């Protein structure tokens, strides 16, 4: 089954404690992206990757890091989480046509709370 | 920059009512336009899309027409069901790298 898998589904942490949210897709997609969803703000892109070892900033990259060492994986790293990073996070992927021409496949989301 | 504006929700309807969710956009060039739907506790799913002016996207009884003259992509359905209750996002893409989403409109359908 084609899918984007995020883990964990829920995460509660404390300020400053490094964490990683994993994302994996089984569709051999070139393009992967991270979004955060906040009430009243919709979805905003954090980082994206067009292929292995190619990453770029989205609209709200501050406080986040990503890496793309393998095609299937695109982890999101919070080196020193802060309460304003409490949010619902989604990973998404799509094929060679990119976001313009192909549909994005979304993971089920990671609800992060930073205390 | 690119932007998408959706009507605020929630939109509350009775089953079998007609649905319209307004969406307008601002973009340079000729973007592709999308509607995504998010059911409770799930990620977003593509509902329909249109890639050029006057195209009509349709799926599961939902329709939207790409109107370049009014920069709009309104979502419509003739008869909603309780199972259509969800959050609907209008989005545009002007390039390979990203989608720009609206803030989302919650639809609540009662029996």
**Of A4, A42, A92, which is closest to B89 when you measure between CB atoms?**
A42
Residue B97 pLDDT class (50, 70, 90 cuts): low
- Put simply, the answer to whether B103 touches A40 (Cβ < 8 Å) is yes
**Spatial separation of the C-alpha atoms in residues B111 and B107, rounded to whole Å:** 13
- For residue B85, name the pLDDT band (cuts at 50, 70, 90): very high
Q: Nearest Cβ partner of B99 from A40, A97, A99? A: A99
Interface test with A, best of B37, B44, B100 (most A CBs within 10 A): B44
* 3-class SS string, chain B: CCEEEECCCCEEEECCCCEEECEEEECCCCCEEEEEEECCCCCEEEEEEECCCCCEEEECCEEEECECCCCECCEEECCCCHHHCEEEEEEEEEECCEEEECCCEEEEEEC
Cβ distance A56 to B51 less than 8 Å, yes or no, reads no
> pLDDT (tens digit, 9 = 90+) per residue, A75-105?
999 999 999 999 999 999 987 665 556 678 8
């Amino acid at each position: 089954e084609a899918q984007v898998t995020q883990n964990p589904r829920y995460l509660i942490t404390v300020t400053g404690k490094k964490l990683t949210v994993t994302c994996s897709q089984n569709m051999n997609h070139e393009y992967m992206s991270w979004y955060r969803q906040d009430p009243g703000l919709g979805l905003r892109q954090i980082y994206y990757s067009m292929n292995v070892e190619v990453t770029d900033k989205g609209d709200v990259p501050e406080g986040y890091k990503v890496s793309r060492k393998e095609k299937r994986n695109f982890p999101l790293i919070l080196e020193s989480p802060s309460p304003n990073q409490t949010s619902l996070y989604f990973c998404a992927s799509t094929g060679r046509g990119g976001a313009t021409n192909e549909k994005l496949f979304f993971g089920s989301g990671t609800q992060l709370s930073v205390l | 920059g690119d932007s998408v504006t959706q009507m605020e929700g929630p939109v509350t309807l009775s089953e079998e009512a007609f649905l319209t969710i307004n969406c307008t956009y601002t973009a340079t060039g000729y973007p592709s336009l999308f509607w995504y739907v998010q059911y409770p506790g799930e990620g977003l799913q593509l509902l329909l899309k249109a890639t050029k002016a006057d195209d009509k996207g349709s799926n599961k009884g939902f329709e939207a027409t790409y109107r370049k003259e009014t920069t709009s992509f309104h979502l419509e359905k003739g008869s909603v069901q309780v199972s259509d209750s969800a959050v609907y996002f209008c989005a545009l893409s002007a390039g390979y790298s990203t989608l720009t989403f609206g803030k989302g409109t919650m639809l609540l359908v009662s029996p």
